[in-house]
A and B are shown apart, each in its own frame.
Chain A
Amino acid sequence: MRSRITRRVRIKTPDLNLVDRVKGHIDAIVTAAFQAIFPDRITIQYPRERRDVPDNFRGMIQFDINKCISCFQCSFVCPANAIMMRGAPDGRYYPCIDYTRCIFCHFCVDTCPRGALLRTKIHDVAFSSMEEMFATTEELIEPPEMLREDDTVIRYRIENGDLVLEKIEEIAELSTRPEIQVSPAKLSACAHPENCIACTLCYLTCPSNAISVKVVEGKRTFEIDPKLCTGCGLCVKECPTCTLTLIER
């Protein structure tokens, strides 16, 4: 094992004589004095100026209700249990985010199969109470309100081997463009009709009314409408005999 580490740098501590010491003192003082005259400032005066952040910035989360398929995956993957799925009047379940718990790992955003959760560049919203930090679905649809004082964007740039703070006189755009997401193309279907006990739970669960049930002559007929089915998998989860499954479209 040891023989593998053949390349090594020896670190020696210097033995200083008087000349070295005086030189060291002078070096330190000159360096500081140089900075005092030509400072390499990197401070950003935050509420007035704002750091330029990339589009993939993990800020507060915005929600596009039209794309959500109530698949619950965001709430399943959340490591901090910050996402609660709340029943909406239309019978579906939509996420609410508890920002007291959210750790901004954006696992949920990376999980969402339809791109219904959007990243924003907002990270600095002040809340006046703990209750307010619970963002309901309605609050998630619009980007959170915040007081803006900034009129300048600061961008880090490296020029000639040194850091330059580039100042751009503009008000930073904080929302990001939704990334176009390929539809997951899943469809609910019955894999084992012989297992079905005709319990109609799938029909009762389906948030988009894609499953219809008819009773004809002592037989219960189930039908899945592929146009309405969003592939959310709720019926698959509910089915007591595991007859339903998700298939590729």
Chain B
Amino acid sequence: MAEACYLCWEVELPERRKKGMKYFGILKEFVIDSGICSHCTTCANICPVRGITAGDKPIDFPNWIELCVDCGACIRVCPRWNYVPLKGMGDYIEILGAKSKRFRGQDGGLVTEIIASAMEMGEIDRAIFVGRDDEWKPVIIHVKSVEQLEGERIRGTKYSFADVIVELRDAVFHTEKGVGVIGTPCMVSGVRKLQKVVKRYSENVKLVVGLFCTENFYHHQLSEFLAEKGIDLTKAVKTDIKKGKFIVEFEDGSKTSFSVKEFDEIIPSGCKVCQDFSGVESDVSVGSVGTPDGYSTVMVRTEIAKKIMDYIRKKDYVEFTEPKPAVVEKLVKYKVKIHPYPPEKKE
């Protein structure tokens, strides 16, 4: 055995804010029940007994009083524990507007392109994508080869919570080279916190792609809401938010749209305290804002992302265009404005 082995070791436990209660109870009281849980599912990932459930409903641990082993891991990885909202554009090396020549995506297909290129380069050997089924319900797909990325169901934004981080656990322990993750800013924060706590994640999660995000929805709420509006998601081929409008595109080419303001009632409470629009902690952020239609804005933040972008440039996989950072900046500030923290008390 090359590595050092220990017969005795110690691990720091998080502070127990409330005596006599198991850690999950504390998490439940201070994060979930107080409405700042962002449903990033990091706690479900780390739970050693796999008791924490996520999915299409708020985070919970059925029967936690009995089954929780009281390890405190969930608290240690929760990004909303001792929550300090991240805001602003964050540091970035460069900002680009681009469109993939290989993949068709929501806008420029750049997320797929970046993951595919990273796989080709050998930086990562698997990535976790969110696909969808016929009802636009998110389905987790472990992508292990570039060919898998060409599937119809993988591309496009779903605007629903998915258990990406839960699945990350399997991926991290089976990978040989590294894992790529795509997520909303809250998931990115969760992954970063995991990486701080567990070394394995910091070693194996090589690439974190952040997505521009204002808010995310529970799938059942979204589909019910859309059903009320008379929109049948089973026939939709694409959903999109553009210029304050929610647009649904159908198989026959017709489109329906309405203002995002109408979504107010179904926005989860956790999203209402989130001020991070651009995924500040990610390796690379991607979004449609700030570029013409069919192009994506790419904010390259770290070295590895830079390496991948250079590779893409070298291989000439994408077409570039001029981005408009000002538009992004405007939305960043807009999100801070509409999602204040601590939340304004409603009368």
Contact = CB atoms under 8 A, between A and B. Distances in A.
Interface of A: 189-201, 204, 215, 218-224, 226, 240-242, 245, 247-248
Interface string B65-95: 0000111110010000000000000000000
Contacts of B70: 200
Q: Which of B11, B48, B69, B76 has the most CB of A within 10 A?
A: B11
B3 A197 contact: no
Interface of B: 1, 3-13, 15, 46, 48-49, 69-73, 76, 169, 173, 197-200
- The 4 tightest CB contacts between A and B, nearest first, are A199-B48, A193-B9, A189-B5, A198-B11
A19 to B, nearest CB: 78
B1 A240 contact: no
Nearest to A201: B48
B46 A221 contact: no
Q: Which of A218, A241, A248 has the most CB of B within 10 A?
A: A241
24 contacts: A190-B5, A191-B4, A192-B3, A194-B198, A197-B46, A197-B48, A198-B71, A198-B72, A199-B48, A199-B49, A199-B69, A200-B69, A215-B13, A219-B12, A220-B11, A220-B12, A220-B13, A221-B9, A221-B10, A222-B9, A241-B48, A241-B200, A245-B1, A247-B5
A218 to B, nearest CB: 5
B156 to A, nearest CB: 33
Nearest to B169: A240
Contacts of A222: 8-11
A163 B169 CA distance: 66
Contacts of A194: 198-199
Contact of A195 (B69, B169, B198): B198
A57 B200 CA distance: 48
A198 B173 CA distance: 18
Given A197-B73, A201-B49, 15 more contacts: A189-B5, A191-B6, A193-B11, A196-B11, A198-B13, A198-B71, A201-B48, A201-B69, A204-B69, A220-B13, A222-B8, A222-B9, A240-B46, A240-B48, A240-B169
B285 to A, nearest CB: 28
Given A189-B5, A198-B71, A198-B73, A220 B10 contact: yes
Contacts of B15: 218
Nearest to A199: B48
Contacts of A223: 7-8
Contacts of B8: 221-224
Contacts of B11: 193, 196-198, 219-220, 222
A240 B170 CA distance: 10
Contact of B13 (A192, A218, A241): A218
Given A220-B11, A247-B1, A193 B71 contact: no
Contacts of B3: 191-192
